[in-house]
Chains A and B, each alone.
Chain A
Amino acid sequence: MRFLFKTGYEQDVRLFKHGGQVFWYGVLAVVLLAAPWWAGDYVMTQLHFICIYSIVGFGLMMLVGFTGQISLGHAAFLAVGAYTEALMQAAGIPFVISISCAALFSAVAGLIVGLPALRLKGIYLAIATLAFNVIVEEILARWHSLTGGNEGMTVKPVRMFGYELTNDWQFYYLCLALTVLCGLACVNLLRSPTGRAFVAIRDSEISASCLGVNLAKYKTMSFAISAALTGIAGALYAHKIAFISPEQFTLFQSIELITIVILGGIGFLHGAVLGAAFVIVLPQLISIAKGWLPEGVAPTGLQAVVFGVILILFIIFEPLGLYGRWLKVRTWFELFPFYRRGMFRRQKSYMKSERLR
């Protein structure tokens, strides 16, 4: 077991807490940087998607995991990012500018959604974001002159500094770099007063406002930041898929995005990455499992069933998600004979009313 002795204030804000972290993150970085050498085409594609979904996961984690707001409309932000990127690339605008604009426009959309969030709570907020998602999807389908309607539009490969990134590995490094940047931005934000304010709002709005946190400002900001990250992911998504149409950004996409943070572990940035990897790998595992089904049973619904069952089992048995499971395993080893089963148990077993707030 490792003991951390605090000998200076700067230790509290240091990115890596101890040498072990430096070592393991270093190993991870080397493995990921070497991916084009050890991974085949198929694995590379999965890695692209994991990077993209991780960025969405970061965005959702900031909103759901750290600010405690609910969104069932993140596919709409993804769509705003994707369409912005597609249109700007079609107009020949450089990638650096276009992806910034994708983030910016998504953030503006997030601001628009965040404004009602100041008055709405819980389920009403969920419905408002859901309604926003449906409306954005419908606008994309109907605004034929701009988006190509339901026929969708093709997206050109990324063009940066005069080069076209046509190879898988070039795009992979781009995705990886952006994922790391977004992750670092989130880590930094959470160490700042803004991040602390988010967490304060999540834990108790009343206490936060008593401590001088401007609820309106920080809730809107959280929506905007979350939407901006999702917009960046949307831009990458557009390039990856190379063809976007409104039916990729439905409510069901939103739900899938939300499951990233639920399965990964709400309230941990690591959880966003783990959840993204899980959500990407799961359909591949299911398609393998389809061969084992008995004769006469149609495999069409298998994916939905497995997905639903996993969601239910996770929430019942591992509410802290994949990262929570890892924490428990690690704690078990660190404390070896002294781990107690109740260490991570929720203290509360009654219902917390949302009607009185």
Chain B
Amino acid sequence: MLSQILQLLVAGVSQGCVYALVALGFVLIYKATETVNFAQGDVMMLGAFFALTGSVILGWPYWATILFAVGVMAVVGMLTERLVLRPVLGHPAFTVVMITIGVGYVMRGVVTMVPGWGTETHQIPTPYVDDVWKVGGVIIPVQQLMVIAMTAALCAVLYLFFRFTRIGVAMQATSQNQLAAYYMGIPVRRVNMLIWGISAGVAAFAGILLAPATFVHSNMGFIGLKAFPAAVVGGFGSVPGSIVGGLIIGVVEALAGFYLPEGFKDVAAYAVVLVVLLVWPSGIFGETMAKKV
């Protein structure tokens, strides 16, 4: 009984890590530019396809594939910001949301039209596919532990980056107050572009981590719709909140999938988000500021 719960928890946490990484991408962009990037899931999908290109089509080793996919997606992210998002700076938030939805459509469509990618389901070989750990009756796939470990490592790297590097601090300043940052001599637009790059890179990383679990196909980006509740539960605009939110959603989903009747697993994330929003209208870690009139 206990071992079963432990297994479910590990599975939930590892799934939650993927949600958390996608949610992290949402939150980074939202904090910096107040844009909600609905294409984040599709960015993740595109990243997974670049990883596929690296590992299967070009035959590179796993680590090189990761670097390649993350690098390419960072460039794609920056280009998206420059070409699509910057012209609509200052439009109402909802218009900008629609434009990111458009970006998502384009990415999903383009992937199905590229020869070699197409509409089929692909698999990326990983070095630790079928290994399992047995710790006293508990059977844990190594792959799930790897997902958790790699997510933790990435979070640590991001934390150090934002805390100690010059550009990281500049990004924090930009996300707190754009105008003030601008007055301090921070090139706000370039910083925003970099943040889009980082966010897309993180999404690509999430895509690679997710690939062994769901395979690579053009609709894998729909997991972004699960990452939304994760970001909202944590409070949009809070980086630690997005991680916590992702883990909550992942664990709740795993438990609901096992203990509740069929069908509850798919709506669990949304039920959680509705309940959380009823109690905390801006998420658990959300910042509440009021305008002084």
Q: Do A and B bind each other?
A: yes
CB-defined contacts of A132 to chain B, threshold 8 Å? 270, 274
> A116's contact among B99, B270, B277, B291, by CB below 8 Å, is which?
B277
* Given A298-B119, A300-B113, A304-B108, CB of A311 within 8 Å of CB of B34: no
Which of B63-71, B88-96, B124-132 lies at the interface? B88-96
A272, chain B: closest CB distance, angstroms: 16
Docked CA distance A269–B105 (Å):
27
A122, chain B: closest CB distance, angstroms: 6
Tell me the A268-311 residues at the B interface (CB within 8 Å).
296-311
Whether a CB of chain A sits under 8 angstroms from the CB of B271 is yes
Whether a CB of chain A sits under 8 angstroms from the CB of B201 is no
CB-defined contacts of A116 to chain B, threshold 8 Å? 274, 277-278
A142, chain B: closest CB distance, angstroms: 5
CB-defined contacts of B8 to chain A, threshold 8 Å? none
Closest to B225 in A: A251
Interface of chain A, main secondary structure: helix
CB-defined contacts of B87 to chain A, threshold 8 Å? 316
Docked CA distance A304–B102 (Å):
9
> A312's contact among B92, B102, B229, by CB below 8 Å, is which?
B102
Contact B290 A356 (CB under 8 A): yes
Contact A135 B94 (CB under 8 A): no
Contact B103 A312 (CB under 8 A): yes
Interface size on A, residues (CB 8 A): 57
Tell me the B53-92 residues at the A interface (CB within 8 Å).
84, 87-92
Whether a CB of chain A sits under 8 angstroms from the CB of B13 is no
Contact A355 B287 (CB under 8 A): yes
Which of A101-109, A123-131, A159-167 lies at the interface? A123-131
Docked CA distance A351–B106 (Å):
25
Docked CA distance A124–B36 (Å):
11
Contact A308 B270 (CB under 8 A): no
Interface centre among B102, B104, B118, B263, by most A CB within 10 Å?
Answer: B102
20 CB contacts below 8 A, A to B, read A120-B281, A122-B93, A123-B30, A123-B232, A124-B232, A128-B274, A131-B273, A131-B274, A134-B267, A297-B113, A303-B109, A304-B108, A307-B109, A309-B106, A310-B102, A348-B90, A351-B178, A355-B237, A356-B289, A356-B290
What is A's interface to B at a CB cutoff of 8 Å? 64, 70, 116, 119-120, 122-124, 126-128, 130-132, 134-135, 138, 141-142, 206, 251, 255, 258-259, 262, 266, 296-312, 315-316, 319, 346, 348-357
Known: A131-B270, A300-B112. 18 other contacts (CB 8 A): A70-B97, A124-B232, A124-B236, A126-B36, A130-B270, A131-B229, A131-B273, A298-B113, A298-B118, A307-B102, A307-B109, A308-B102, A308-B103, A349-B89, A349-B90, A352-B90, A354-B93, A356-B290
